Amino acid sequence: EDKVVQSPLSLVVHEGDTVTLNCSYEVTNFRSLLWYKQEKKAPTFLFMLTSSGIEKKSGRLSSILDKKELFSILNITATQTGDSAIYLCAVAPNAGNNRKLIWGLGTSLAVNP
């Protein structure tokens, strides 16, 4: 059965810390992996990764994929209180016409001032 596992489930840090969030997966015919940020509203898209070893970066956030070891990490440097959110990882299996994503449970990040 396809599955996505995120760790840790929750994390509390202080402003300025660097955090690394993990996402491991087992899916049939992997196509892509996506990261989303969810505050008290709808998830917003952060990154989509398809190739191993190529870092995607947006400001203080970056992400990389390892297709051999079947995981991705999301790094946030110099964290701010506005980074407090649930970070969701999802994987798209290559399943023909079915574009359904397989979702992890998320990592709840709290950044304290």
Partner 1 sequence: NAGVMQNPRHLVRRRGQEARLRCSPMKGHSHVYWYRQLPEEGLKFMVYLQKENIIDESGMPKERFSAEFPKEGPSILRIQQVVRGDSAAYFCASSPRPNPSTDTQYFGPGTRLTVL
> Where does this chain bind partner 1 (CB under 8 A)?
31-32, 34, 41-45, 48, 50, 88, 92, 97-101, 103-106
First to last CA, the chain: 41
Integer Cα distance of 101 and 82 in angstroms? 27
Closest approach of Cβ 25 to partner 1, in Å?
13
**With respect to partner 1, which residue has the nearer C-beta, 11 or 17?**
11
Closest approach of Cβ 19 to partner 1, in Å?
19
Residue 73: is it exposed, middle or buried by C-beta count within 10 angstroms (0-12/13-18/19+)? middle
**With respect to partner 1, which residue has the nearer C-beta, 17 or 46?**
46
Closest approach of Cβ 45 to partner 1, in Å?
5
Contact 65, 52 (CB under 8 A): yes
